[in-house]
Amino acid sequence: MPEHNDISPPELIADKGSLHPINHMKDSIMELLTSFGFETVDGPEIETEEFNFDMLNIKKSHPARQMHDTFYVENKSNLLRTHTSPVQIRGMLEKKPPLAFISGGKVYRKDDDATHLPMFHQVEGIYVNQNVSFAQLKDLIYKIIFSLFGDGVELRFRPSYFPFTEPSAEVDILSKEGKWLEILGCGLVNPVVLENCNIDSTKYSGLAFGLGIERIAMLKHGVTDIREFYKSNLDFLSQFK
Amino acid sequence: MKIAYRHLVQHIEESPSIENISNKLFQLGHEHEIDGDILDMEFTPNRGDCLSINGLLRDLAAFYTVDLHQEVCTEKLNELQLDFENLSENICPKISFLKLEIDQVPETYKNSLDNYFTDLSLNKNNFFTDVSNYLSYETGQPTHCYDANTMSGKLLFHEIKKNEEFETLLDKKITLTGKNSVFSLNDNVINLAGVVGGKSTSCSNNTKTVIVECAYFQPEAIIGKSVKYDIQSEASHKFERGVDPDCHDKVLSRFINLVSDHANIKDMSIISYKSKDNLIHQIPVNVKKINQIIGINISEKEYLNLLSKLGFVVEEGFIKVPSFRSDIKTQNDLAEEVARVIGYDNISTSKISIPNNERINHKAIENKLRFFLLDNGFYEVINSPFVNLSSEEAIKVDNPLDSNREYLRTNLTNSLVDNLLFNERRQKESVKLFEISDVYLSSNGINKKRKLSIIASGRVGENYKDFSKKINKKYLAILFQEILPNKVFDFKIISRELLDTKIKNEIVSLEIDIDKFPDDILRYEETSSPPDTFNEYRPISDLPSSIKDISYSVKDFSKIKELTNLLLTYQSDIVKNVFIFDYFKNEKTEEIKIGFRFVFQSKISTLTASEIDVIYNEIITKSLGIQGITIPGMKKNV
């Protein structure tokens, strides 16, 4: 009999769980933005039309307000926020510039198919100060994208339209396969929005941006079907330790 | 909107390639795909003015020499005698009617009208409707054609608010409900304004006398109608985004010209109604402000030259916004015009420095809880808030996706029960999940609560110390007692009686408001941490899995490491997981018993017993090749 009585038992592999990949992505982005100087603010998912639309210069006639795009609750007295921007409105009403907020969380739109879900996640940011320019917005966006996708990634800015920003832009990155993929929307805060929040738009200007968390998580993890995130399948979740 | 490249390029002096035009369109913010010689355009909702050949050319004039001249009828027309009354001038402040009579309906089309149908592979309808459709493509202004022979009586434009049956010219019967802007003839609706005309007055292949309606409708009156009545309408797409209120004369003159290219016009007359003039919007010239907004430094001359290419007129220190650009109101709007033409990617960055704010972690407790649960094998999940269960406190969604998602959930645990059963059906023997989320309740207004819910059932874990232990209330109580010894938690056992499952394991759950957790938890030192990298996802299989256990007896302890190395790293397409579920060292017999569990699953097909046996036998053969290793009850040469 060989003398190996001091043999130690096999290593006990701790059965650790994992963060949800969407929450992990959201936390990572918010941590990154916090390191840039942004303050985290939080707000309710059930909002008023005033904060979700009116204050953001989204007119009564805007298609997003239709019953087929927005979930309304309690006899249309409130709605499920369609973006996290109302949180920033609340922040701007509470504090005076200079200010820099980020907010992240669940948002809701009346979509349900292979590429859209009625619930998804956003992180949005706003920075208001004197002489904030589009050129500065570009600098910030480069920093965000390079931090997320690496310094070598190629990106482009395209003119776009959001009622709450002017000028507005969408930003794409070039995938390994040579396809442009939309990553975020951004722009200079529309002066109407600043005025709605009692901020003198002749003195201050601002920049704002928003990222769809699912989209970035899909790209970073190589997930092709957005619905996988919400099946709570342990075979799926255990891959993100 | 599909636009043929050659319809654009014939107006551009430089004759750019489709790729060149495509690049400029992207720079201007007009997304599109190229399919052969067709540009499939998608415009942002503020740029309704671009929904035509002329509209796109007006924007491309920033880069090219564009000739927007199109032949129009310059003849003075008689006044049309029409019994018309506009009862809703606020919705339709401007409307014109043109009546044309031709001697013969043309059998073939020529020039731009023919090219339109040929190049875009479109089906023809009838002559006047075809001219109208082409004109909308060319100018962006929808017109509607009535067969004049069906139009005797009093014509009204008004907003109605009563249920009324209406048959569209697309043979679709709809019931108008709520407020609708319509044209009525002798009290019958003949046209859902800005959306679709009616069958009773529509033109046919025999129509020789037409009344063409050319109107401006307030977008607010049109928005949502095509979706509401499920009507595909290019006209409503344009009216919803706003058309040029000052284009009617030109559009109708062009209509006449196109008709006269194809038929002899016997008679024509026109009448226009206008309740108010379209105000020309003026913005002061302020290049300093433009430079500040964008962060550039262009001269006033460059700035104004650039705007003039886009159709803006400068007079006495003011920039006059063209009538087709209803989206331009402020200096920021003008700055966007400048930035688009310069190219967003050509604007240099300017270093941004955001003053550092105080970093307050509002979610310290819940983050600590998350990592405590991770340390103990729990997985975080996120569930949809939409449920079909009503309770007194549940908030009702006014417009749910379907009847199964009519309410917002009032607890998180029910979702976790569904998640648990989902995983048990996938042969998971240990399920430990948690979710942290806001829950909204309706009681004296809307109340928000931030909650943690956990659920657990089955084996405590997969390692050999936990494998034989089952999750129960005591297990969870001990876990939480370690971090919060002074707090009593109300763990619940969830009955399986009403659940669709044959598994008997106890289901233990806990749902608690986050603010009920004491700060003591912040002292917990977690061992888990967020992943350093974003792992590449490996597609998972939904096919059934099979389990095989092998128990070894090891007399030569020095071989344990070799055995575990061999088995725990065993590579096969169908071996999904391997772990040690049993380990016992018998001091008396100087023997180690070690059990390995193999989980087999294919990503391609359901595995047969013989497919599993091939790998299983290979594993046994290789493992028994190690000296001093036996499988009790099995001969070595088996």
Going by their DSSP bridges, the two strands A99-108 and B209-216 should be labelled as unpaired
Closest CA to A41 of A125, A107, A141: A125
Contact of B588 with chain A, judged by CB distance below 8 Å, is answered with no
CA dist list (Å): B486 to A86, B277, B510, B511: 40, 77, 17, 18
Residues 346-385 of B with CB under 8 A from A: 347-360, 362, 370, 373-385
> Can you give the pTM of this predicted structure?
0.89
What homologous superfamily does CATH list for B78-274? Phenylalanyl-trna Synthetase, Chain B, domain 3 (3.50.40.10)
The answer, yes or no, to whether residue A68 has pLDDT greater than 80, is no
Contact of B540 with chain A, judged by CB distance below 8 Å, is answered with yes
The 3 state secondary structure assigned to B570-629 is CCCCCEEEEEEEEEEEECCCCEEEEEEEEEECCCCCCCCHHHHHHHHHHHHHHHHCCCCE
Contact of B223 with chain A, judged by CB distance below 8 Å, is answered with yes
Q: How far is A196 from chain B (nearest CA, A)?
A: 16
Alpha helices in A95-212 (DSSP H): 134-149, 191-196
What confidence score (pLDDT) does residue B500 get? 84
The residue-averaged pLDDT of B139-152 equals 97
| Contact of A210 with A85, CB cutoff 8 Å | yes
Residues of chain B with CATH 3.30.56.10: 2-60, 282-345
pLDDT in tens, B489-530: 999 999 998 898 889 999 999 999 999 998 889 999 999 999
Domains with residue ranges and CATH for chain A: 21-240 (3.30.930.10)
The answer, yes or no, to whether residue A89 has pLDDT greater than 90, is yes
The answer, yes or no, to whether residue B98 has pLDDT greater than 60, is yes
What confidence score (pLDDT) does residue B332 get? 97
What confidence score (pLDDT) does residue B242 get? 92
Q: Which residue of A has its CA nearest to B431?
A: A234
Across chain A, mean pLDDT equals 91
Closest CA to B598 of B623, B573, B575: B575
Interface-testing mutation among B332, B371, B468, with chain A (most A C-beta atoms within 10 A): B332
| Contact of B160 with B180, CB cutoff 8 Å | yes
**Which residues of chain A have a CB within 8 Å of the CB of B530?**
19, 24, 27-28
- Report residue A2's pLDDT band, with 50, 70 and 90 as the boundaries: very low
Cβ-count burial of A61 within 10 angstroms (0-12 exposed, 13-18 middle, 19+ buried)? middle
Query: How big is chain A, counted in residues?
Result: 241
DSSP codes, B230-276: T---HHHHHHHH---TT-HHHHHHHHHHHHHTTS-EEEEEEEEEESS
Which tokens sit at B557? Answer: 């302890």
Q: Count of CB atoms within 10 A of residue B475's CB?
A: 17
What confidence score (pLDDT) does residue A6 get? 54
Residues 603-632 of B with CB under 8 A from A: 628
CA dist list (Å): A106 to A30, A58, A84, A212, B347: 14, 20, 8, 10, 34
pLDDT in tens, B251-291: 999 999 999 999 999 999 999 999 988 788 999 999 999 99
Going by their DSSP bridges, the two strands B164-167 and B318-320 should be labelled as unpaired
Interface-testing mutation among A73, A103, A204, with chain B (most B C-beta atoms within 10 A): A73
Q: Say which residue the tokens 């919400």 belong to.
A: A230
**Which residues of chain B have a CB within 8 Å of the CB of A67?**
398-399
Q: How far is B332 from chain A (nearest CA, A)?
A: 6
- Report residue A1's pLDDT band, with 50, 70 and 90 as the boundaries: very low
**Which residues of chain B have a CB within 8 Å of the CB of A133?**
292-295, 350
Considering only the beta carbons, identify the residue of B347, B442, B564 that sits closest to A74.
Answer: B442
Q: How far is B352 from chain A (nearest CA, A)?
A: 5
Answer yes or no: do B227 and A66 touch at CB < 8 A: yes
**Which residues of chain A have a CB within 8 Å of the CB of B31?**
158
The answer, yes or no, to whether residue B226 has pLDDT greater than 50, is yes
Q: Which amino acid is at B206?
A: N
Fold classification of B364-523 (topology level): BirA Bifunctional Protein; domain 2 (3.30.930)
What confidence score (pLDDT) does residue B637 get? 46
Interface-testing mutation among B537, B582, B600, with chain A (most A C-beta atoms within 10 A): B537
Answer yes or no: do A119 and B432 touch at CB < 8 A: no
The residue-averaged pLDDT of B77-86 equals 95
Q: What percent of chain B has pLDDT over 70?
A: 99
- Report residue A167's pLDDT band, with 50, 70 and 90 as the boundaries: very high
What confidence score (pLDDT) does residue A9 get? 76
The answer, yes or no, to whether residue B213 has pLDDT greater than 50, is yes
Q: Which helix (H) or strand (E) holds A189?
A: strand A180-189
The answer, yes or no, to whether residue A113 has pLDDT greater than 90, is no
The answer, yes or no, to whether residue B636 has pLDDT greater than 70, is no
- Report residue B392's pLDDT band, with 50, 70 and 90 as the boundaries: confident
- Report residue B443's pLDDT band, with 50, 70 and 90 as the boundaries: confident
The answer, yes or no, to whether residue A64 has pLDDT greater than 80, is no
Across chain B, mean pLDDT equals 93
- Report residue A7's pLDDT band, with 50, 70 and 90 as the boundaries: low
Contact of B634 with chain A, judged by CB distance below 8 Å, is answered with no
Considering only the beta carbons, identify the residue of B240, B448, B579 that sits closest to A44.
Answer: B448
Q: Which amino acid is at A240?
A: F
- Report residue B627's pLDDT band, with 50, 70 and 90 as the boundaries: confident
Residues 273-332 of B with CB under 8 A from A: 292-296, 330, 332
Answer yes or no: do B408 and A63 touch at CB < 8 A: no
- Report residue A119's pLDDT band, with 50, 70 and 90 as the boundaries: very high
CATH number of B546-630: 3.30.70.380
The answer, yes or no, to whether residue B103 has pLDDT greater than 90, is yes
Sheet holding B318-320, edge to edge: B282-284, B318-320, B313-315
The answer, yes or no, to whether residue A3 has pLDDT greater than 70, is no
| Lowest mean per-residue pLDDT among A66-70, B185-189, B271-275, B525-529 | A66-70
- Report residue A67's pLDDT band, with 50, 70 and 90 as the boundaries: low
Query: The domain at B2-60 falls in which architecture?
Result: 2-Layer Sandwich (3.30)
Answer yes or no: do B349 and A142 touch at CB < 8 A: yes
Residues of chain B with CATH 3.30.930.10: 364-523
CA dist list (Å): B114 to A61, B36, B127, B312, B537: 37, 19, 11, 33, 52
| Contact of B139 with B247, CB cutoff 8 Å | yes
**Which residues of chain B have a CB within 8 Å of the CB of A74?**
395-396, 398, 442, 446
**Which residues of chain A have a CB within 8 Å of the CB of B567?**
none
Answer yes or no: do B555 and A240 touch at CB < 8 A: no
What confidence score (pLDDT) does residue A13 get? 73
Considering only the beta carbons, identify the residue of A23, A73, A118 that sits closest to B380.
Answer: A23
| Contact of B190 with B184, CB cutoff 8 Å | yes
Interface-testing mutation among B466, B534, B588, B599, with chain A (most A C-beta atoms within 10 A): B534
Indicate the DSSP class of residue B345: G
**Which residues of chain A have a CB within 8 Å of the CB of B47?**
161
- Report residue B445's pLDDT band, with 50, 70 and 90 as the boundaries: confident
The answer, yes or no, to whether residue B452 has pLDDT greater than 60, is yes
Going by their DSSP bridges, the two strands B143-147 and B78-79 should be labelled as unpaired
| Contact of B216 with B226, CB cutoff 8 Å | no
Q: What percent of chain B has pLDDT over 90?
A: 81
B230 vs A6, which has greater pLDDT? B230
Which tokens sit at B211? Answer: 């009344």
**Which residues of chain B have a CB within 8 Å of the CB of A4?**
556-558
Interface-testing mutation among B294, B344, B466, with chain A (most A C-beta atoms within 10 A): B344
| Contact of A127 with A137, CB cutoff 8 Å | no
**Which residues of chain A have a CB within 8 Å of the CB of B224?**
63, 66, 68
The whole-angstrom separation of Cα A59 and Cα A54 is 7
Q: Count of CB atoms within 10 A of residue B89's CB?
A: 14
The whole-angstrom separation of Cα B635 and Cα B638 is 6
DSSP codes, A31-82: HHHHHHTPEE----SEE-HHHHTGGGT--TT-GGGSTTTS-EETTTTEEE-S
Q: What percent of chain A has pLDDT over 70?
A: 95
pLDDT in tens, A179-231: 899 999 999 999 999 999 999 999 999 999 999 999 999 999 999 899 999 99
Phi-psi region of B590 (alpha: psi -120 to 50; beta: other; left: phi over 0): left
Residues of chain B with CATH 3.30.70.380: 546-630
**Which residues of chain B have a CB within 8 Å of the CB of A159?**
27-29, 44, 336, 339-340, 344
Considering only the beta carbons, identify the residue of B355, B466, B536 that sits closest to A98.
Answer: B355
What confidence score (pLDDT) does residue B635 get? 58
Interface-testing mutation among A70, A214, A234, with chain B (most B C-beta atoms within 10 A): A234
Answer yes or no: do A161 and B46 touch at CB < 8 A: yes
Q: Count of CB atoms within 10 A of residue A35's CB?
A: 11
The residue-averaged pLDDT of A92-118 equals 91
Q: Does domain B282-345 have CATH number 3.30.56.10?
A: yes
**Which residues of chain A have a CB within 8 Å of the CB of B219?**
61
Answer yes or no: do A25 and B446 touch at CB < 8 A: no
